[in-house]
Amino acid sequence: METKIIKVDPERPDKSALEEAARILRAGGLVAFPTETVYGLGANGLDANACKRIYEAKGRPSDNPLILTIGDISGLYPIVGRVTENAEKIIDAFWPGPITLVLPKADCVPMEVTGGLDTVAVRFPSNAVARELIKTAGIPVAAPSANSSGKPSPTRASHVEFDLNGKIDMIIDGGPADWGLESTILDVSVDRPVLLRPGAVTKEMIEEIVGEIDVDPAVYSKPSADIVPKAPGMKYKHYSPAAKVILVSGNLENVVKTINEKVSEDSAKGLKVGVMATEQTKNRYTGASVLVVGDRDKPETIGANLFKILRKFDHIGADVVYSEVFDEAGEGAAIMNRLNKAAGFNYIYC
C-alpha cells in the first residue's frame, strides 16, 4: 500500500486535504493526524473492520482498547451510555484538551474498540487539524497513538512515517505535537474518579474540580501479578527504545559522577552508551552520545522532547542509555511515568 503524506498549516489546515482524509476514514481506511499530545492513527470508530486494521498496522494486542476522539461536544452523547456528574465537571473545565474520559459505553460502540470492556474512552482534542478532520468526517474517530506497538509514541509526522509507512492510507503532517506525551486518562465511570494515566492535565488540576481522586497503582509501580493496570495498555512495555534504559537518581552532582563512571565501564566493554542529559548538565558528560531532553527549569520542554530523544537513541544504535530523573510534581508525574516505563523501572540510586 502506498501511504500518501500531506502537509497542512497547523492553524488553518487546507479544507480539501481534510475532505480527502475524511473520505478515507468514512470508507474504512487509516489516516494518521496530529493532536496536541501525540500523533493519532485514525479509523472509523463505529466500523469494527476499520478498527481491526488499526490493530494490524500497529501490531497491537487486541485486548488493548482504543480511544474514540470527537470533533465537538455533540459527538459524545451517541457513544456513551451515561455522562456522569464528575464527567460533566471535567468536560466544562478541560475540553477540548489533553484529557481522556472513561465512561459507560453505548451499544453502537463495537467490542473491537473497547477490547471487550463495557466502558469507552473518549477524547475531544484541541488541535485544530484533529478537530476539523473529525468534524469533517462526521464520525467518532478511533485514534490510538500512531506508533508501532511498543515504540515511543510519535510526536512528529516523520516518526509515523518511520513506523507505519506502507501500512496506512495517509499521514497528515501538521508539525510537531505541542505537548509530546499522551493525554491524561481519568475513569469517571465510577463514583470516585481514578487516574489511569498521568498527562498534561495533572492530578492537582483535576482535584481542584472534582475533589480527591484515586490513582491506579500501576501509574507509580511496575505492573505485576498484584498490580494490573485498569488501562489495559499500561501493562505493556511501552515507550521503549531498543537500548536498555537505566535511570540514575540522587543528588544531581552524584548523578553526573555516577553516570560518567558507568559510561566508562560500559564503553570499556565495547557497548555504545547514550546519556539523556538536560541543558543544565549537557557539558558535564564525557565519552558517550549525549542528547539533551530539555531544561530542568522548564519541564514542558522535557515532555515535548522525551519521545523524540528516545527514538534518536535508536537511530544512533545505543546499547544502553543512562538518564537523569525529574521532579514528579505537576506535569513531572507524566514525564516520570513514561520514563519509568521506558526503563522498565530500572534504577541506580546514588
Query: By CB under 6 A, what part of segment 130-159 binds ligand TXA?
Result: 143-145
- Residue in 43, 50, 70, 231 binding ligand TXA, rule: CB under 6 A: 231
Q: Is the distance from CB of 86 to CB of 188 less than 8 angstroms?
A: yes
Per CB under 5 A, 145 contacts Mg ion: yes
Among 143-151, 171-179, 210-218, 262-270, which window interacts with Mg ion (CB under 5 A)?
Answer: 143-151
Q: What is the per-residue binding string for ligand TXA in 320-339, x denoting contact by CB under 6 A?
A: --------------------
Among 15-23, 67-75, 137-145, 288-296, which window interacts with Mg ion (CB under 5 A)?
Answer: 137-145
Q: Is 64 exposed, middle or buried (0-12, 13-18, 19+ CB in 10 A)?
A: middle
Report how far residue 229's alpha carbon sits from residue 234's, in angstroms, rounded to the nearest whole number.
Answer: 6
SS3 content of the chain, % helix, strand, coil (to 5): 35, 20, 45
Q: Angle at CA 126, nearest 5°, toward 67 and 196?
A: 40
Residue found under cell 509526522: 157
Q: What is the nearest approach in angstroms of ligand TXA to the Cβ of residue 308? A: 16
Query: By CB under 6 A, what part of segment 43-62 binds ligand TXA?
Result: none
Distances 175 to 63, 129, 278 between C-alpha atoms, Å:
31, 10, 24
**Complete DSSP assignment for 234-248:** GGS--S--SSEEEEE
Q: Which does 133 bind (CB under 5 to 8 A by kind): ligand TXA, Mg ion, none?
A: none
Residue found under cell 541543558: 279
Q: What is the nearest approach in angstroms of ligand TXA to the Cβ of residue 26? A: 19
Per CB under 6 A, 160 contacts ligand TXA: no
Tell me the site size for Mg ion, rule CB under 5 A.
1
Q: What is the nearest approach in angstroms of ligand TXA to the Cβ of residue 159? A: 12
Report how far residue 333's alpha carbon sits from residue 219's, in angstroms, rounded to the nearest whole number.
Answer: 9
Tell me the site size for ligand TXA, rule CB under 6 A.
29
Per CB under 6 A, 232 contacts ligand TXA: yes
Q: What is the nearest approach in angstroms of Mg ion to the Cβ of residue 145? A: 3
Q: Which does 38 bind (CB under 5 to 8 A by kind): Mg ion, ligand TXA, none?
A: ligand TXA
Report how far residue 279's alpha carbon sits from residue 263's, in angstroms, rounded to the nearest whole number.
Answer: 19
Closest CA to 22 of 124, 139, 128, 108: 139
Q: What is the nearest approach in angstroms of Mg ion to the Cβ of residue 233? A: 6
Residue 184 or residue 278: which is nearer to ligand TXA going by CB?
A: 184
Exposed e or buried b for every residue in 255-277, given b needs 16+ CB within 10 A?
A: bbebbbebbeebeeeebbbbbbb
Instruction: Identify the three-state secondary structure at position 309.
Output: helix
Q: Angle at CA 26, nearest 5°, toward 24 and 33?
A: 55
Q: How many CB atoms lie within 10 A of CB 123?
A: 25
Q: Which does 198 bind (CB under 5 to 8 A by kind): Mg ion, ligand TXA, none?
A: none
Closest CA to 124 of 97, 87, 86: 97
Q: What is the nearest approach in angstroms of ligand TXA to the Cβ of residue 277? A: 27
Residue 177 or residue 320: which is nearer to ligand TXA going by CB?
A: 177
Among 55-63, 142-150, 203-211, 335-343, which window interacts with Mg ion (CB under 5 A)?
Answer: 142-150
Q: What is the nearest approach in angstroms of Mg ion to the Cβ of residue 199? A: 12
End-to-end Cα separation, the chain, in angstroms: 51
Q: What is the nearest approach in angstroms of ligand TXA to the Cβ of residue 110? A: 13
Q: What is the nearest approach in angstroms of ligand TXA to the Cβ of residue 163? A: 13
Report how far residue 101's alpha carbon sits from residue 105's, in angstroms, rounded to the nearest whole number.
Answer: 11
Per CB under 5 A, 184 contacts Mg ion: no
Contact positions toward Mg ion, by CB under 5 A? 145
Contact positions toward ligand TXA, by CB under 6 A? 35, 37-38, 40, 64-67, 69, 100, 102, 114, 117, 119-121, 123, 143-145, 182-183, 185, 196, 230-234
